[in-house]
C-alpha cells in the first residue's frame, strides 16, 4: 500500500486542484450545461429551514396559547397561517425535486461527452501507456454514477447549502437559550467531522486509488466473458471454468479492499454515536436545569429540545458535508486531471497541409520508443517515399512495420529524428489536415453499428454519398455480398443496436475496409496487413486488383507476406526494429540477403497456387 501511495504522489498526470477550485469548476459546468439549475437551487435553500423548524414553532405557540388560556379563534388563526406556509414550502420543494434531479444528470452527461471526446483525440500512443489509461479509468469512475465524482459534488454542494441554512437558523434559535450549549455542540460536531474526513481521505488513498488498475482488469474480464467475439474460443477450448476462476480471483482483490473500507467506517461510526449521545445529554441536562431553576416555559422547553436535536443532526450533516465535499472534490481531481492531461490532442493547432498534386515523405534518422520501454521499437530510420510511388514494407511479425506506419500516419510522434512532408516537418501541420492526406486500411477492421453506406463513408448520413459507397463496395469485391443484403447499402451492421443487423466475415470486413479507402479518395493509400484473413493467392490477387483501382496515387503496402513486392517500385525490409534492406525487388533478390531468403521460402505458395488455379 505504501508503494502504491508513493506512486500516486509521483504520478505526473494526477493533480490536486483544491476544494474551492473544484467548486468553481463544478458551478461553471452547471451553468454551461443547465443554466436553469442555478435558478432552482435557491428554492431548496429557502425551503429547507422552513420544513425543519416550522412545526417546532407551532408546538411552542400552541403550548403557550393553551397554557396562557388563549381563545380558539387565535389558535385557529395561528394554525391557518402555519398551514399556508407549510403548503407553500411543500409545493415549492416538490417542484424543485421534480425539476432538478435530471438536470444534474444532464450536466454529468455533458462532462462525460468532454471526457469521451478527450480520449478519442489524445495522441494514439498514449492509449498504450498504463499511466494514461489508469488516469482515464479514474476519470471514468468519477462520472459513472449519480452520487460519486462530478455529479456527486454537484449534489453535495446543494445539500451543503440546504444544511447550512438549517444550521444557521438552529444556531440563532439555541443562541437565545445559551451560547455555551451551542459552542459545545459545535465542538463535538467538529470532532466528528475530523474523524469522518480523515476516514474518507485514508480510504481513498489506501483503498480506492490503488484499485484503478483493478477496474481496468475487471472491465477486460467482463468484456471477454460477455463479448461475442471470444465466445467461440471459450466454448471450443473449454475456457469457461478457467475464466470464471480467474474472475473469482480478481474479485477477491476488490472484496479485500471492501473489507478494509468497511472496518475503517465501522470504527468511525462508533465514535460518531458516542459524540451524538454526549451532545444530547448536555442539552437535556441544561433544559431540565432551566425549567427547574430559571423558569423556562414548557413551550420554550419544547422549542429548544426539538431544535437542539435538529441542530446537532444538521451540525453533523454540515461538517460531514464538508468531508463529503472534500471526498467528491478528490474524485473531481481525477476527472480534471484527465481533461487537463496534455495528450497532444489539439488537432487544429498548426497550419493546414497545402493542396498539392504530389506529396513526398521523408524519414530522417527517426527512432521511436514506447513510454517506459527500454528498447526502441524503431531505430534510426531514414527513408524517402516519392509521390506516386508504390512502397512495400515487409518483415516478420514484430519487425517494426506497423510502428513505421503509425509514425507515417502521425498516430505516433517520433522520439528522435523528424518526418518531412514536401520538405516541411509534419509537426508544423494540424493533425486533422494531415489525416486527410491518407486513406488507411488496417489489419483489424472495426465495424460500427451504422448502416453499411456510413461504414464505408465514415461520415454522417447527410454527408454520405450512397451511390459512391455502392460503387466502392463493388470495386473492392464486396458486390456479391451486397446483392444478398435485402436493404443494400442501407443494411444495418452489427446487432448491437438493431436486431436485424448483419455481421460480416473476416474477408468481408477487409473488403469493406478497402471500400473505405476508395471512398475517401485520399492521395496516399496505406494498407497495413489488411489481407491477413486471406490465403496467399487471394491476397496476391486482391493486391493486384486494388493496385489498379488506386491509379496514380501513392501507396504503401505492409505485409509479412511478399505478394505485393513485385508490383511495387521499392521494398523496405524490416528486422528487429530496423530497416535492414531497401531497394527494388530485383536488386534485393540479387543481393541474396534476408529479403531474398524470405521471398524464396514464400514463392512456392504463389507458384503452386497459380498452377493449381490454372488446372
With vertex at residue 544, the alpha carbon angle to CA 538 and CA 545, rounded to the nearest 5 degrees, is 90
Among residues 363, 555, 561, 560, the alpha carbon closest in space to that of 441 is found at 555
- How much is the mean pLDDT over the chain? 81
Is residue 422 scored above 90 in pLDDT?
A: yes
* Band of residue 101 on the pLDDT scale cut at 50, 70, 90: confident
Rounded distance between C-alpha atoms, residue 368 and residue 343, angstroms: 17
With vertex at residue 150, the alpha carbon angle to CA 146 and CA 155, rounded to the nearest 5 degrees, is 60
DSSP class of 207:
I
User: What's the grid cell of residue 265?
Assistant: 467506517
pLDDT at 335: 93
Q: How many residues does the chain have?
A: 615
Phi/psi for 579 (5° steps) reads -85, 105
Phi/psi for 235 (5° steps) reads -75, -45
Task: Determine the 3-state secondary structure of 400 from DSSP.
Answer: coil
pLDDT at 396: 81
Condensed to tens digits (0 to 9), the pLDDT of residues 270-310 reads 877 777 777 777 777 777 777 676 767 666 667 666 677 67
Q: Which residues of 185-195 are buried (b: 16+ CB within 10 A; e: fewer)?
A: bbebbebbbeb
Condensed to tens digits (0 to 9), the pLDDT of residues 369-418 reads 887 778 899 999 999 999 999 999 988 878 888 899 999 999 888 999 99
Burial of 413 (0-12, 13-18, 19+ CB in 10 A): middle
DSSP string of 509-531, one letter each residue: HHHHHHHHHHHHT-SEEEEESTT
3-class secondary structure per residue, 34-82: CHHHHHHHHHHHHHHHHHHHHHHHHHHHHHHHHHCCCCHHHHHHHHHHH
pLDDT at 370: 81
Task: Specify whether the CB–CB gap between 218 and 250 falls below 8 A.
Answer: yes
Sign of torsion over alpha carbons 177, 180, 183, 187: negative
The set of residues, in sequence order, having a beta carbon less than 8 Å from that of 600 and lying 6+ positions away, is none
pLDDT at 420: 96
DSSP class of 498:
-
Q: What is the pTM of this model?
A: 0.69
What interhelical angle do 19-33 and 298-339 show, nearest 10? 80
* Band of residue 93 on the pLDDT scale cut at 50, 70, 90: confident
- Average pLDDT for 346-356: 78
The H helix count followed by the E strand count for the chain is 20, 10
Is residue 360 scored above 90 in pLDDT?
A: yes
* Band of residue 321 on the pLDDT scale cut at 50, 70, 90: confident
pLDDT at 273: 75
Task: Specify whether the CB–CB gap between 497 and 449 falls below 8 A.
Answer: yes
Rounded distance between C-alpha atoms, residue 413 and residue 406, angstroms: 9
494-498: long-range pairs with CB below 8 Å, 24+: 494/447, 494/448, 494/449, 496/449, 497/449, 498/449
Task: Specify whether the CB–CB gap between 442 and 528 falls below 8 A.
Answer: yes
* Band of residue 537 on the pLDDT scale cut at 50, 70, 90: low
Condensed to tens digits (0 to 9), the pLDDT of residues 195-211 reads 777 787 788 777 777 77
Task: Determine the 3-state secondary structure of 320 from DSSP.
Answer: helix
- Average pLDDT for 224-237: 70
Task: Specify whether the CB–CB gap between 336 and 17 falls below 8 A.
Answer: yes
Condensed to tens digits (0 to 9), the pLDDT of residues 491-527 reads 999 887 888 889 888 888 888 988 999 999 999 999 8
Phi/psi for 349 (5° steps) reads -80, 145
Task: Specify whether the CB–CB gap between 445 and 532 falls below 8 A.
Answer: no
Measured in whole angstroms, how far is the alpha carbon of residue 78 from the centre of its chain? 56
Rounded distance between C-alpha atoms, residue 526 and residue 288, angstroms: 88
pLDDT at 348: 59
* Band of residue 431 on the pLDDT scale cut at 50, 70, 90: confident
- Average pLDDT for 473-487: 90
What interhelical angle do 240-293 and 298-339 show, nearest 10? 150
Rounded distance between C-alpha atoms, residue 20 and residue 366, angstroms: 46
32-40: long-range pairs with CB below 8 Å, 24+: 32/107, 32/110, 33/106, 33/107, 33/109, 33/110, 33/111, 34/103, 34/106, 34/107, 36/99, 36/103, 37/100, 37/103, 37/104, 37/107, 40/96, 40/99, 40/100, 40/103
Amino acid at each position: 500500500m505504501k508503494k502504491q501511495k508513493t506512486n500516486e504522489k509521483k504520478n505526473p498526470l494526477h493533480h490536486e486542484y483544491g476544494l474551492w477550485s473544484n467548486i468553481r469548476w463544478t458551478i461553471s459546468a452547471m451553468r454551461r450545461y443547465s443554466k436553469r439549475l442555478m435558478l432552482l437551487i435557491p428554492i431548496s435553500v429557502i425551503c429547507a429551514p422552513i420544513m425543519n423548524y416550522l412545526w417546532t414553532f407551532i408546538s411552542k405557540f400552541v403550548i403557550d396559547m393553551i397554557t396562557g388560556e388563549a381563545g380558539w379563534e387565535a389558535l385557529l388563526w395561528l394554525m391557518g397561517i402555519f398551514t399556508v406556509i407549510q403548503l407553500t414550502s411543500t409545493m415549492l420543494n416538490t417542484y424543485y425535486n421534480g425539476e432538478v434531479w435530471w438536470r444534474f444528470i444532464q450536466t454529468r452527461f455533458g462532462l462525460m461527452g468532454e471526457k469521451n471526446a478527450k480520449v478519442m483525440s489524445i495522441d494514439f500512443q498514449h492509449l498504450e501507456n498504463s499511466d494514461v489509461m489508469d488516469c482515464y479509468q479514474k476519470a471514468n469512475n468519477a462520472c459513472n454514477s449519480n452520487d460519486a465524482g462530478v455529479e456527486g459534488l454537484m449534489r453535495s454542494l446543494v445539500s451543503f447549502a440546504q444544511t447550512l441554512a438549517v444550521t444557521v437558523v438552529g444556531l440563532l434559535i439555541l443562541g437565545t437559550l445559551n451560547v455555551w450549549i451551542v459552542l459545545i455542540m459545535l465542538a463535538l460536531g467538529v470532532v466528528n467531522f475530523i474523524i469522518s474526513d480523515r476516514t474518507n481521505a485514508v480510504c481513498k488513498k489506501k483503498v480506492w486509488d490503488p484499485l484503478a488498475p483493478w477496474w481496468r482488469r475487471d472491465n477486460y474480464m467482463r468484456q471477454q466473458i460477455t463479448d461475442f467475439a471470444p465466445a467461440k474460443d471459450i466454448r471450443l477450448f473449454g475456457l469457461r471454468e478457467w475464466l470464471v476462476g480467474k474472475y473469482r480471483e480478481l474479485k477477491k482483490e476488490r472484496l479485500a479492499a471492501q473489507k478494509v473500507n468497511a472496518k475503517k467506517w465501522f470504527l468511525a461510526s462508533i465514535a460518531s454515536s458516542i459524540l451524538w449521545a454526549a451532545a444530547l445529554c448536555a442539552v437535556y441536562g441544561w433544559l431540565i436545569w432551566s425549567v427547574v431553576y430559571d423558569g423556562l416555559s414548557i413551550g420554550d422547553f419544547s422549542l429548544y429540545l426539538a431544535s437542539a436535536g435538529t441542530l446537532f443532526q444538521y451540525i453533523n450533516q454540515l461538517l460531514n458535508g464538508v468531508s463529503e465535499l472534500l471526498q467528491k472534490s478528490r474524485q473531481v481531481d481525477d476527472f480534471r486531471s484527465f481533461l487537463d492531461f496534455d495528450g497532444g490532442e489539439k488537432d487544429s493547432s498548426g497550419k493546414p497541409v497545402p493542396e498539392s498534386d504530389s506529396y513526398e515523405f521523408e524519414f530522417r534518422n527517426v527512432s521511436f520508443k514506447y513510454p517506459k520501454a527500454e528498447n526502441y521499437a524503431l531505430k534510426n530510420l531514414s527513408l524517402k517515399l516519392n509521390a506516386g510511388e508504390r512502397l512495400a514494407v515487409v518483415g516478420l511479425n514484430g519487425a517494426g512495420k506497423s510502428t513505421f506506419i503509425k509514425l507515417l500516419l502521425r498516430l505516433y510522434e517520433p522520439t528522435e529524428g523528424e518526418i518531412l512532408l514536401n520538405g516541411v516537418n509534419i509537426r508544423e501541420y494540424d493533425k486533422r489536415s494531415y489525416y486527410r492526406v491518407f486513406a488507411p486500411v488496417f489489419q483489424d477492421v472495426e465495424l460500427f453499428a451504422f448502416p453499411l453506406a456510413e461504414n464505408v463513408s465514415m461520415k454522417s448520413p447527410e454527408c454520405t454519398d450512397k451511390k459512391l459507397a455502392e460503387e466502392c463496395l463493388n470495386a473492392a469485391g464486396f458486390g456479391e455480398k451486397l446483392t444478398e443484403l435485402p436493404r443494400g447499402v442501407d443494411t444495418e451492421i452489427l446487432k448491437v443496436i438493431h436486431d436485424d443487423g448483419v455481421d460480416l466475415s473476416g474477408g468481408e470486413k477487409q473488403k469493406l475496409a478497402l471500400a473505405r479507402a476508395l471512398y475517401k479518395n485520399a492521395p496516399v493509400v496505406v494498407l497495413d496487413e489488411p489481407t491477413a484473413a486471406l490465403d496467399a493467392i487471394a491476397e496476391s490477387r486482391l493486391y493486384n486488383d486494388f493496385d489498379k483501382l488506386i491509379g496514380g496515387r501513392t501507396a504503401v503496402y505492409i505485409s509479412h507476406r511478399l505478394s505485393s513486392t513485385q508490383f511495387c517500385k521499392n521494398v523496405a525490409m524490416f528486422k528487429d526494429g530496423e530497416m535492414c534492406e531497401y531497394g527494388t525487388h530485383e536488386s534485393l533478390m540479387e543481393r541474396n540477403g534476408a529479403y531474398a531468403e524470405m521471398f524464396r521460402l514464400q514463392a512456392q505458395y504463389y507458384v503452386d497456387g497459380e498452377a493449381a488455379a490454372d488446372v
